Amino acid sequence: MRKMIIVALGIALYAGAALARPPGPESIGEFYVYFNAAGQVVGEASIDCQGNLHQSGVRTNSYSIGYAICLPAND
């Protein structure tokens, strides 16, 4: 019984840590820039106009959000 409680607690902590990740882009053209405590850029994440996710650096809880304009493709 005690072992089951410990396992359940471990799973709950793991799930909580996964939910605590700073937000990132969710739609086409959206981008995030992440800053450290000194205001320096330490990471970036974006979804380009083709729907590809690009990430670099680290995500922090200090960030700025922007949106790119995606023009329709010329067929």
Dump pLDDT digits (tens) for 22-46.
899 999 999 999 999 999 999 999 9
Contacts of 60 (CB under 8 A, 6+ apart): 22, 34, 35, 36, 42, 43
Q: Of residues 72 and 13, which shows the higher confidence score?
A: 72
Mean pLDDT of the region 51-57: 95
Span 7-28, pLDDT tens digits = 677 776 765 555 567 899 999 9
Domain regions of the chain by residue span: 23-75
Give pLDDT, residue 40.
Answer: 97
Question: pTM of the entire structure?
Answer: 0.68
Question: What's the pLDDT at 45?
Answer: 97
